[in-house]
């Protein structure tokens, strides 16, 4: 009775912790998205410099990661060779910087709700690239699901009240870069047995993101900032915004590490609906009926995709357990045969000695 009770408590604790990780990630992701929109939107805070904002985030994250790794030594860096860093981390960092730059730029032109609707295309991009890089098997039913998601997003775009072509191009570019980054992480790091915790990930990736963004910043935004003599750096706004961005990076890796990437995808759907509701009710963005119908169709496609992935993971886990059980059964049979052979041999020896 006591043992069963302790097991139930352990399971309950794990479930509550999983919900806590999901809640923390949703809250931080929600906060960063709304905060970035507030800073970049010309009608709100009015500082439309997405590269500069991303640079501030990367500089803050890099500094904190270096302090935690090199000064406080809270975590140990992995054995990262120069060749591995150049061949694996730099491409991932380049794609991450482009994804952040483009996604932050989209907030200048599009509403928060419409951006979340466009992000529903992420499974489509990841699956398509996975098939192209031979990390996923092509399945006609999955492709039909991807077409349903794409159709839903297209309907949502058709009904968008504040449709902006350049904003849509930027957000779709951000989705493409992020999907490519996720696929390359599997190819360049996971397949080599390299796993990065939240701190070491920022320690290796954030500095190269900063350097990649520095080049376009010098030519695109620095000249405009020099002409804006009225601007004064608000340490509270940009400081708290950077802290939220750093905490979100930690929460992403914590959520994936303690649960799974699939859990994060499911939680992302909940977060998107919350953001759409917030955008409509608080920010007063126009959300049309056609918007909701289109996103509803895309949402069903994404939900079905996540359900299929969950079923595939359960089947894979069951096959793994079955294989382990068969292996253990085989070992037991082998040990039993050896014992019987040993007992038979000793019996024959006793008979011979009696004779």
pLDDT of residue 353: 52
Q: Yes or no: say if 74 and 199 are a contact pair by the CB < 8 Å rule.
A: yes
pLDDT of residue 345: 58
pLDDT of residue 39: 95
Alpha helices in 159-288 (DSSP H): 165-188, 198-220, 222-227, 235-258, 261-281
Q: Which residues make Cβ contacts (< 8 Å) with residue 185, sequence separation at least 6? A: 92
Q: Does the reported pTM lie above 0.85? A: no
Q: Yes or no: say if 94 and 100 are a contact pair by the CB < 8 Å rule.
A: no
Round to the nearest angstrom and report the end-to-end CA distance of the chain.
Answer: 57
pLDDT of residue 8: 72
Nearest to 87 by CA among 208, 210, 202: 208
Q: Which residues of the chain have pLDDT under 50?
A: 1, 355
pLDDT of residue 75: 81
pLDDT of residue 261: 65
Residue 103's alpha-carbon distances to 79, 95, 122, 188, 284, in angstroms, are 32, 12, 13, 24, 21
Parse the chain into domains and list their residue ranges. Answer: 22-227+235-315
Nearest to 293 by CA among 144, 115, 145, 156: 156
Alpha helices in the chain (DSSP H): 2-40, 50-66, 82-84, 90-109, 112-118, 122-132, 140-158, 165-188, 198-220, 222-227, 235-258, 261-281, 289-354
């Amino acid at each position: 009775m006591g043992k069963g009770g302790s097991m139930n408590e352990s399971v309950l604790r794990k479930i509550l912790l999983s919900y806590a990780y999901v809640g923390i990630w949703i809250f931080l992701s929600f906060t960063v998205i709304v905060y970035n929109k507030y800073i970049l939107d010309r009608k709100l805070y009015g500082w439309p410099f997405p590269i500069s904002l991303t640079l501030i985030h990367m500089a803050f994250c890099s500094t904190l990661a270096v302090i935690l790794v090199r000064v406080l030594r809270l975590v140990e860096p992995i054995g990262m060779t120069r060749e591995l860093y150049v061949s694996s981390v730099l491409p991932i960092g380049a794609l991450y910087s482009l994804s952040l730059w483009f996604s932050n730029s989209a907030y200048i032109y599009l509403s928060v709700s419409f951006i979340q609707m466009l992000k529903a295309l992420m499974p489509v991009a990841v699956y398509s690239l996975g098939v192209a890089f031979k990390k996923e098997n092509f399945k006609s039913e999955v492709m039909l699901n991807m077409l349903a998601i794409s159709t839903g997003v297209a309907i949502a775009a058709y009904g968008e009240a504040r449709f902006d072509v350049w904003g849509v191009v930027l957000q779709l570019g951000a989705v493409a870069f992020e999907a490519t980054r996720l696929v390359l992480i599997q190819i360049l790091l996971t397949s080599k047995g390299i796993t990065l915790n939240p701190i070491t990930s920022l320690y290796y990736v954030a500095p190269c993101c900063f350097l990649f963004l520095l080049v376009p910043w010098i030519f695109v935004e620095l000249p405009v900032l020099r002409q804006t003599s009225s601007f004064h750096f608000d340490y509270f706004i940009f400081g708290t915004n950077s802290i939220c961005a750093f905490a979100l990076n930690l929460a992403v890796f914590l959520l994936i590490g303690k649960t799974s990437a699939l859990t994060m995808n499911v939680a992302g759907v909940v977060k998107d609906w919350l953001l759409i509701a917030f955008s409509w009710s608080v920010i007063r963005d126009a959300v049309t009926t056609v918007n909701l119908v289109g996103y509803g169709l895309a949402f069903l496609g994404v939900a079905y995709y996540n359900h299929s992935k969950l079923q595939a993971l359960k089947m894979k886990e069951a096959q793994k357990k079955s294989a382990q059980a068969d292996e253990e059964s085989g070992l037991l049979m082998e040990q039993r045969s050896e014992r019987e052979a040993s007992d038979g041999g000793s019996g024959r020896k006793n008979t011979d000695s009696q004779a």
